[in-house]
Amino acid sequence: MGDVKFGRVHLLLIVVLFSICILPSATISQSMVVTDPIKYPLPSWPALCVLNGSFKVVIRAPSSATKWLFSITHNTINVKYDIGSFNGFYNSSSGLWTFYLQVPSNALEGLYSLRVSYVADGASYVYTQPKCVYVFKTYPGYLLIAHVSDTHLPYGADVIARAIYELNLIRPTIIVHTGDLADIDVIASAWDYAWSILFNGSSKIPILVIPGNHDHSGDDAANY
């Protein structure tokens, strides 16, 4: 672990590299394409914004969708903020709605989950995207970036759990995982664990994830 300074950016390198000589048995399942209607922000690609600033939301929904409601819920203290100020438009070519939501001026700093609801064709729809919005009071003067790589889940489960625990104490600005999150892209337990520990678990820090060759070797990153 080292603290390397490049101008105004501090890079905290936490590189998890290990080789597996004898692989334990693992459950292999058929890969499935995830079709979450919220295309952005994502737990692996969070929106970063400031008080009174705005962030973008992209969601697949019918052109007839109305009565849109948005809220964000803090992941540490369970405080919810309804977002009353927003504007959006529908793209008929892509079938996607794009919205720009204004962050409430009284919001606390931290990581939030996003809740979206609307009405279309007489039915109500509600979707929640966990840990996908990070609110700063002001944009930081420097970045402390924690770099994690090559966890090869499920085999590196203990390593990444320990890394998240220690990073919650160090409190970097953001965590960047640069690939090979899973060892084999069709091991269901790897993705289940990644979701539970990175995106829906104890991490209090926004996480960006970039696929590696092990993460999309068989299905072109459909599991990602």
Same domain, 45 and 131: yes
Number of domains comprising the chain? 2
Q: 45 and 130 share a domain?
A: yes
Domain harbouring 66, CATH code = 2.60.40.10
User: Does residue 130 sit in the same domain as residue 154?
Assistant: no
Tokens of residue 12, six digits: 């905290």
Integer Cα distance of 67 and 44 in angstroms: 28
pTM: 0.66
Same domain, 63 and 112: yes
Beta bridge partners of 42: 45
pLDDT higher than threshold 80 for residue 134? yes
Helix residue ranges, H only, the chain: 157-170, 188-194
Residue 197 has pLDDT above 90, yes or no: no
Return d(Cα 96, Cα 94) in angstroms, integer: 5
Bridge-based pairing of strands 123-136 and 143-148 is unpaired
With 90 as the cut, is the pLDDT of residue 116 above it?
Answer: yes
Domain that holds residue 52: 38-136
Q: Do 60 and 111 fall within a single domain?
A: yes
Least confident of 72-81, 131-140, 179-188: 179-188
The phi and psi torsions of 14 (rounded to 5 degrees) equal -125, 90
Has residue 30 been placed in a domain?
Answer: no
